[in-house]
Structure 1
Amino acid sequence: MNEMNHFWQSISQFSGWFLAAMIIASFVIVFTVKNRKLRETLIRGVLMLAGFLSILLGIIGIFLPIMPTVPFILLAAACFGRASPRFHKWLWEHKYFGPMVRNWEQKRAIPRKAKYMAWSMMTFSCCMVLYRMWQTPWWWSGIVVSAICLSVGIWMSRLPDA
């Protein structure tokens, strides 16, 4: 159990650092590279890297129940949609990932079962964060996480069902 906890923390930290690095790299490229063609090539490379790493994290999420799959696959589709039509088409036609990408891109729809699962996991996670953080100086972080999850839950409830 301790090994699984350590693995989850490592993956969670990696995905956070990965997202931050991609955002910082994009801003550095956009604001420092003056040559338009070079800038577009570098941004395309950052998007391709982000797409492949998102697919990797999405695949890990298939096997780990506490790791989401759909957000990472949708992020990969968005990255590939801008960087590589070939990989976007591959993802669009994929046997397993294709339906979720098509539902999102065509109708901005999420399956009802996925909504219920997301709401349940967010509620459970918020309760755990509040429970663990309430007696610490970081109690306010539990409130912030809960407010963000509540906002995402309300936004998700307004989306059509796939």
Structure 2
Amino acid sequence: MKQAKRAAFILFGLLCLGLGALGVFLPLLPTTPFVLLAAFAFANSSDTLHDWLINHNVFGQLIADWRRYGAISRTAKVLSVVSMLAVLVISWLFDLPLWIIAVQAIVLACTAAFVLSRPLPPSP
């Protein structure tokens, strides 16, 4: 059972890392939450993958800022909120039912409030 749990965490971590990597190039896909989830999954399954991720030249700083300060960079905050707004606009453009847009708006507003409430990391 322990091996199955470890394998599930590794697969989940790889999936999250893949989505986070896509988020670097796709403006509607957030990077930071997926990278943080990948770090969590790897911390529970693979020291090698976890060490690689936290020392990564692109993703490592996101994780370090979150761990040390509970902080999210200004760039990550802006990209997150812009992505959330874009999702709402796309939902509206696709003429989704109003109740779906309302649920999205509530969830995204709460998520945006959380992201914006996090402190900025200290300047180097």
Name the TM-score class by shorter chain: 0.7 to 0.9
State the shift of 1:90 in Å.
Answer: 1.1
Partners of 2:42 and 2:24 in 1: how far apart? Answer: 20
1:143 is matched with 102
1:32 is matched with none
Residue of structure 2 aligned with 1:74, choices 36, 40, 45 = 36
State the shift of 1:84 in Å.
Answer: 1.3
Question: Are 2:122 and 1:160 aligned?
Answer: no
Equivalent position SS for 1:65: coil
Equivalent position SS for 1:51: helix
TM-score (structure 1 length as normaliser)? 0.68
Residues 83-130 of structure 1: CA distance to partner in whole angstroms, max 9, x if unpaired? 112211111111111101111122111001211221122123213323
Q: CA RMSD in A?
A: 1.6
Partners of 2:47 and 2:99 in 1: how far apart? Answer: 43
Which structure has greater helix proportion? Answer: 1
Question: Are 2:26 and 1:64 aligned?
Answer: yes
1:52 is matched with 14
Residue of structure 2 aligned with 1:118, choices 74, 80, 91 = 80
State the shift of 1:154 in Å.
Answer: 1.0
* Greater RCO, CA 8 A, separation 6+: 2
Count of residue pairs the alignment pairs up: 121
TM-score (structure 2 length as normaliser)? 0.87
2:6/2:44 contact within 8 Å kept: yes
Bigger Cα Rg: 1
1:55/1:72 contact within 8 Å kept: yes
2:73/2:120 contact within 8 Å kept: yes
Equivalent position SS for 1:150: helix
Residue identity over aligned pairs, in percent, reads 30
Q: Which runs of 5+ in 1 are unaligned?
A: 1-37
Look up the equivalent residue of 1:151 and give its one-letter code: C
